[in-house]
């Protein structure tokens, strides 16, 4: 319940690393077959770059990772702006557009937190873009993983307030950057939830 409540609660100047990641996100969107941000794969690949940019330049205002990703999102999804060549993006950020299966954390709590946070975030972003109906399964996965981390499990890990829940989500989402892009993580989480 606490986790579910936290999920409902929640143009910048960027450094060079963040600017490059933003350019990669723009390039992914521009190269999508439909030339539209409303395609699941390019959208989630662009979100990986958005998250890289937020991590690369956390800003000076003390905002959390999730808040910072919201700050940098318009820089990627607005029309126009400088693009980074996709070959350079793939070389620097090989997981961003990879379609290789990913390995979730071995620790059950870390895995469940990552899958709950990733599925909530991915579903929210895609729903906001008007394509949530195409990924309705993400909501099912999110609900399944939230059910695995009830309040007593969260409290056993020192997570008992809205602030600590949001902090745990921040950490879980930041951790996805070391695992893979959200689409591949969602495939892995779906397999895990379904016992495949």
The pLDDT of 112-120, averaged and rounded, is 96
Question: What are the DSSP calls for 58-103, one per residue?
Answer: --SS---HHHHHHHHHHHHHSS------HHHHHHH-TTTS--S---
Task: Give me the pLDDT at residue 6, please.
Answer: 40
pLDDT at residue 31, as a whole number: 84
pLDDT score, position 118:
95
Q: Does residue 3 surpass a pLDDT of 80?
A: no
Q: What is the mean pLDDT of residues 184-193?
A: 96
Using alpha carbons, list the distances in angstroms from residue 131 to 17, 65, 110, 183, 184.
30, 24, 28, 14, 18
CA dist 27 and 102 (Å) reads 24
For residue 10, pLDDT over 50 is answered with no
* pLDDT of residue 35 exceeding 60: no
Q: Where are the domains of the chain?
A: 11-92, 100-194
Integer CA distances (angstroms), 92 to 17, 52, 75, 79, in order? 11, 11, 20, 24
Q: Rounded to a whole number, what is the distance in angstroms from the first to the last CA of the chain? A: 27
Instruction: Give the contacts of 121 (CB within 8 A, at least 6 positions apart).
Output: 47, 66, 173, 182
Q: Is the pLDDT of residue 2 over 60?
A: no
Q: Return the pLDDT at 130.
A: 76
């Amino acid at each position: 319940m606490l986790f579910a409540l936290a999920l409902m609660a929640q143009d910048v100047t960027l450094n060079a690393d963040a600017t490059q990641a933003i350019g990669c996100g723009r390039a992914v969107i521009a190269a999508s077959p439909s030339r539209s941000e409303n395609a699941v794969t390019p959208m989630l690949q662009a979100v990986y770059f958005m998250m890289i940019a937020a991590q690369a330049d956390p800003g000076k205002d003390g905002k959390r990772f999730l808040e910072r990703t919201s700050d940098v999102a318009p820089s990627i999804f607005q029309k126009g702006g400088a693009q980074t060549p996709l070959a350079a993006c793939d070389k620097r950020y090989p997981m961003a557009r990879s379609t290789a299966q990913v390995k979730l954390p071995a620790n059950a709590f870390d895995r469940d937190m990552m899958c709950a946070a990733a599925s909530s975030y991915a579903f929210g972003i895609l729903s906001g873009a008007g394509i949530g109906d195409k990924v309705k399964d993400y909501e099912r996965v999110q609900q399944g993983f939230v059910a695995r981390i009830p309040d007593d499990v969260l409290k056993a890990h020192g997570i008992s307030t809205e602030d600590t829940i949001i902090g745990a989500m921040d950490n879980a989402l930041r951790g996805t950057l070391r695992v893979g892009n959200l689409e591949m993580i969602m495939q892995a989480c779906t397999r895990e939830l379904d016992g495949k």
